[in-house]
Structure formats: C-alpha cells, structure tokens
Structure 1
C-alpha cells in the first residue's frame, strides 16, 4: 500500500504530538514547548482542511487559540492580567498536554481526503420556497430578538446577556435561509433581521454571537460569490477587529478616536492575541486545579451530570463545570473543549473527544459532496444544515462549552428533520404546490431508478 508524502508527514506530526503530550503528562517537558507543539499541530490541521471553508474556519479558530495561549503565557508573558497566573504550574502542563493530545489525535483521525467546499457552492438554496415556514420563523425570531436578550438600563453601563434561545437562534436562521429557496424577498428579510441580532449583541458588548451570525449570513448568501482569498482575509480581519473591540466592549457607542487608538496600542502590545482565548484557557486550568481537590469518583459523577444535561438542558444540577470552580478560583467562565474531558475522564476522555469531533468532521466533508458533481446524493439536507451550525458555532464549542457540539448539534438535527418532514407532509397533502429542494428531487429520482 502506497502512502503519499502528505499522509506520512501528517502521521509523523500526529505521533510526535502524542509522544510529547505523554511527556507533558509526566511533567518532563516545559509548558512552553507543549504550547509550541500545539500551535504547530493546529497549523497542520488547518492546512489539511484548507480546501473546505466550513472546516477551514474551525482550523483558524484552533490555530488562533493556540497562538494566543503561547504568546501571552510564554513568548511575551502578559503580567498585567490574572489570566496568566497559572502559566508555569503543573496544572497548566496537564491542560496543555490535553490540548496537544486532542489536536494530535484529531489530525490522526482525519480522513485522508477532505471534500472541497468553496466558491460557487452552497449547502442551502432549496429551489422552492415554503412561505408558511418563513412567516412562522420570522415571528419566532422577532420575539427572541425583543425578549430573548437581557439589556442593561442604558447602553455603555453593562454588557447584555443573550439567553440560550438567542444563541440557538442560529438554527432558526439556517432553516429560514434554507426554506427561502431562491426567493430574494425572504432572503433579504432574514438578512436584515440577522443584522439586527448581530448589531444588538455588538452594541451591548458581545462579540462571539454576532460573529457566528455574520458567518451564517456569509455561508447562506455570499459563499457562492466569494473567493477563498477574500473569505480568509475577511475571517482574519474580523477576528482582529473583534479582538480590538474587546478592549472597548460596552463603551463602543460612546468611544472616541483616542479610545480606539488606545485599544489598538493595547492589542499590538499583546501581539493581537485573542483575549477570549486566553481567558478561556485560564478557566480551563482552574478545572485541573479543582480536580486536584475533589475525589476521583466525583469526576465521574460530574461527567454523568453533564451527560444528562445534553438531553435535559442546563437545569441539571452541577452540570456546568465553570460554575463549580468559580467559588474556588477567579475566572470569567468558558473552557477549552479537550480540558473538559481531561477533567471528567482523563487522557482517555481527551482521545474519545477527538474521535467524536473527527466523526463530525467526516460528516461535514461528506455533506459537501451534495453540492459537487456528479449529482449523487449521499446525505439528507439536514446534515448540510447541521454542518453549517457546527462550523459557525465553533467559537462556542472550542472556547466555551461542549454543549454546542452535543446538545446544540442534536437540537439542530431534530429541528431540521422535523421541518423537512412537515414540508413533505404539506407537499403530499396538496397544501403547497411549490415546496421541495434540489436534494429532495434528486433523492426521488434515485429512488425511482
């Protein structure tokens, strides 16, 4: 069996990363070296998925995370923040080992061929429009816009607090664009409403939710017309711009030129690192610290509580790890994906998490084949919707909580399947004379053959 040079290099990097992570767990290599290795492996992952924009976005976020951790903790230590206080501790070494092990195994488990997804392609754009769904989705989204966002008494006083419904509105927007078909009126209407969602989040000090929504707008309306160079440039510019605005936050509406210049100077001094990334990393290290003061059996019990929350939601007691560590260690919530599973199940949990993510990546890659010639359909449209949800929500599941890639993914899949089923029932009953999609049409043709 012949192996390509690219495969051998990927395999060698992955194995080297795994070996370094083992040495990291044994505390025989410096934390800085582990951070460098994580950055190199994340760049290798990025290069491997470069031809698929949905996965390229995930790769960019991982690489930016690793760069931010490395820079502010080891290359040019940022000593004016609480978020680097644990950089030289054994617990930081364990967390870095988990991150390196995760990225190494993820690269190792990746499919050899990533299906391209880029200019001229789209995972939405059903040929026909379901106006009933569009009206209902717009009403629901309008209500969430008004009532699903906690606003302070005045702009600039405090940050707004988007509810879980506000976060999951991403799913409704994806479905709205899908069932808009090629109807420009509906597409424009949903785009205006999405812009209001993003603007509200930015004005009240948020960034990630707005960025995710703007990415949905891109993939659903602009992807066909945009080159990869423009796409990457826009992502990099967007991340840097939101990093710059992070120094202003709620004062955005009242900031003057001097405020923006000061924010730029601050960002330059930090190497344009991502404050959300190294803040979330600090929270992750507190997970390891907290794990050292509770019995091992408690780790498994807390994992069980989190697993229940995937189905039952955040009302499950003790399912939020960041909430549990806050009384013991100061942080601003969040948490990097592999460190959650390091806390719950140790290195085995990290490997299982990387395998789970690799399976999702395989589904995303295969979903992109429905937009490539020949017209052979491999998966239902629901997988395309879920693929875009996983990609655009990567900021959340990489830096905040595993919920978006577990509970959120499940909700997105169920909502999509429900609406597709209802659409078919409406079509079969004659309530609608113009519903369907190119994918569904292709499926029916294949079934007749």
Structure 2
C-alpha cells in the first residue's frame, strides 16, 4: 500500500512540472506579443527603454527555448546557435553598442527598430509553435547508426568522392594571411558525411575512415581561416557518433575550448597561431565585443540593408525577386540572375553578404513572410522532435543536416532549408536504391 501511495504522489509532480513549463511559455509569449503589438502601434518609433525591453524579450525567449530542449541534442544545438546569434546581434547593436565597426552603423536608424521587431516576431512564433513535450528518451542510444544499414560499397564510394572534393574542391591561397575559398560542393560535402555514417553499420573501421577524412576537411578549413564549414563537420561527427554517449555537462568544457579556438580563427583568420600572446589578444577582443559573434552582427547589418532596399523597391520588384529565389533553389543561384538578395542589395549598400533568415522572407513577403519562415523552422523542429529508432532513414538524414547546417540557414541564406534539404533527399535515394540493389544481388548469390 505504501508503494502505491508513493506512486500516486509522484505522478502529479511530473504533471505539475509540465503545467509550470506551459504556464511560463504562455506568460513569455503574451508579454512578447504585447511588446510587439505596442511597437507596431507606434510605427516602430521606439525610445531607448522600449528598444531595450524588446531586446531583452528576444534574449529571454531564445534562452527559454534552449533550456526546455536540453536532453535532446538535436534541438539543443539548433536553439543554442539561434540564441547565441541573437545575443551577438542584440548586445552590440542595442544593449552595449560597439561603435568602431561598419556592422553597427545602422543601429540608430529606423531600419534597426524595424529589424529588432522582425527578430522578436520570428522568435515569438517559433516559441509558440515549439512542441510542448520535447522528446528526450530516444537519444540515450544512437538513433541513427545501425548494423543492418551497413553497406561497405556505399561507404567506400563516399570516401573516394570526399577525398576528390577535399583535394580539388577547395581554393588554397598562395599568399600568407589570405583565406581559402571552398566551393559549393565542398560546403555541401556534409551530406556525403551524413550518408557515409548512416551506412557505416557502426563498424569501427568505417567510422574511423570517415572520421579521419572529416578531420582533414575541418583542419583544411580552419588553416585557411574558415570557421562555419569546419564547425558543421564537427557537429556532424558529434551528432552521429558521440551525442548519445554525452550529456550537456560533460560536453560543456569541450564547447568552451571550441569557442575559444573559433574565436582565434575569427580574429586572426589564416594568420592565427596557438601562442600565449594570441590567446591574450583573443580574450581581450572577446571582452570588447562582449563575447559576441562577429559573423552574426555582420549578417544582421546586411539584413538591415534588406529593409532599406524595401523602401526603394516596389511590391512587383520584391515578388519578382522572390520568384527568382525560388527558381534558384532548382537551377542554382549562378544560373538565375539577381536571385541572391544579398548580392542585389550590395549594388546600393555596403555590406559583406549573409543575412538573417526572417529578413529574407520579410523583404519578399512582408510581415507574413516572417511568420512563414518561423513556421517552416518549427515544422522541421517537430520532425526532429519525433525522431526515434523506427523513423525512416531519410527523415533521420534530413534532421542531422538541419542541425549541422543551422549557422548557414540562419546567418547566411535560407537556401539550406529548401535546396539543401532537396539535395539530401536526392543523394539519400541514390544511396538507398544502390543499397537495395547490392543487398538483393548478395541475397540471390546465397
């Protein structure tokens, strides 16, 4: 009887915790909606207090999303990246502005007030649509790599393709200090790594072979001053090989080391070296920048030029640009003139490319576009949240790609959410049917 009573007592506690989480979510979303509505009513003519309140609410929602996802590495990585990017944007533009850079030069203009509300609406809709129950049980064992998926022919073929891309798909500068230039196929090589690990069958030899090639890719990218491609590869390896063995507390020291290392590359680019002076200079510069990511607030500056471009573009021009963007998802950006919004605005404003996800859709479709972009991300998050051992391979590979690619689709271009996923689907089915054919042939010989 005592055990039964204890069980009856424990169950409500879990329900109460769930209800408390829902209550916090409702309160945060209500306050955010209230702030956004008020900002709209005053046509974004906000004073400093209103700007800071809006900025803080973006940070609070971003952190909330990270906290409720802890235990699910896939969603934790996605929302941690979004939160860090939002922090970097908010800190240097609104809360503790840095003045000695082009990337905060628009912080006093109306576009910056509109921009902060675009961020607020995006993160608000994303929070509202985030699943109330985050799946954490399916990640105590590796939900991706199984022995039954093993196909040595596919793994060997992928390794050969990756070696060729490693050698010929990266432009190496002969001038010391100049950054390398990875081609598009080099950047999308992450898809081959995902498929390689998926079909490796959890054998040590296959995993080791792919890990060595992956390390060479990342190292080459870092040596020549790149960060994002190398970081994607590290995340890919961690997600597919180690994540189910590691919790956030064990991973935290490695995350901090990786953060310092990435900061070194960001500050010194192709000239960096691991000396004491370098580390001192890195820490000093990080403190001056409030530990923010320069790529994030550079992309935000580009995004604000999108809003400026809206003022000089008719609705017809914006819709035409949207059609060209969609066409470029099929044919490729190089084959469709003026399909890149960043390149289009660079004709009129100074920036260094990139762009925050909801700002692309705001240019094309207005405020509806911001909501639409958040809905797309939330649908992908729901797909990831439903992952378990019985989920089909395609959904698993798409989920890993979205996690690895988060910095690119949030800070550079939304093409990863459309074209990138499309490429995953195509390459997966090529490998899938090859796997079926080889296994059928092997079975017929027995």
Give the TM-score taking structure 1 as reference length.
0.90
Cα separation, 1, equivalents of 2:158 and 2:183: 18
**Match in the other structure for 1:137:** 158
- The answer to whether the 8 A contact 2:264-2:278 is kept is no
- The answer to whether the 8 A contact 1:34-1:96 is kept is yes
- The CA RMSD measured in Å over matched residues stands at 2.1
**Match in the other structure for 1:441:** none
In the alignment, is residue 152 of structure 1 matched against residue 173 of structure 2? yes
Tell me how far 1:430 sits from its aligned partner: 2.6
In the alignment, is residue 110 of structure 1 matched against residue 125 of structure 2? no
SS at the partner of 2:272? helix
**Match in the other structure for 1:6:** 21
**Match in the other structure for 2:35:** 20
SS at the partner of 1:248? helix
- The answer to whether the 8 A contact 2:318-2:364 is kept is yes
**Match in the other structure for 2:329:** 310
Tell me how far 1:427 sits from its aligned partner: 1.5
Cα separation, 2, equivalents of 1:32 and 1:242: 29
> Which of 30, 33, 40 is the aligned partner of 2:53?
33
Correspondences of 1:71-220 after superposition (within 5 Å): 71-116=91-136, 120-128=140-148, 129-154=150-175, 156-220=176-240
In the alignment, is residue 249 of structure 1 matched against residue 266 of structure 2? no
Q: Relative to 1, partners in 2 of residues 1:184 and 1:352: Cα closer, same or farther, differing over 3 Å?
A: same
Cα separation, 1, equivalents of 2:183 and 2:35: 40
Give the TM-score taking structure 2 as reference length.
0.90
- The answer to whether the 8 A contact 1:34-1:100 is kept is yes
Aligned length: 424
Cα separation, 2, equivalents of 1:33 and 1:57: 26
**Match in the other structure for 2:291:** 272
Cα separation, 2, equivalents of 1:342 and 1:236: 34
**Match in the other structure for 1:346:** 366
Tell me how far 1:28 sits from its aligned partner: 4.0
SS at the partner of 1:430? helix
**Match in the other structure for 1:445:** none
Q: Per-residue displacement from partner, 1:197-239 (whole Å, max 9, x unpaired)?
A: 0000000000111011011111122223222212344334423
Q: Relative to 1, partners in 2 of residues 1:89 and 1:227: Cα closer, same or farther, differing over 3 Å?
A: same
- The answer to whether the 8 A contact 1:125-1:180 is kept is yes
Structure 2: unaligned runs, 5 residues or longer: 1-15
Tell me how far 1:118 sits from its aligned partner: 7.6
**Match in the other structure for 2:278:** 259
- The answer to whether the 8 A contact 1:105-1:355 is kept is yes
**Match in the other structure for 2:80:** 60
**Match in the other structure for 1:291:** 310
Runs of 4 or more consecutive aligned structure 1 residues displaced over 4 Å after TM superposition:
431-434
In the alignment, is residue 407 of structure 1 matched against residue 423 of structure 2? no
Cα separation, 1, equivalents of 2:284 and 2:205: 43
Correspondences of 1:357-436 after superposition (within 5 Å): 357-367=377-387, 369-370=388-389, 377=390, 379-430=391-442
Tell me how far 1:23 sits from its aligned partner: 3.2
Q: Per-residue displacement from partner, 1:264-313 (whole Å, max 9, x unpaired)?
A: 21111111111111111111111111111111221111111111112222
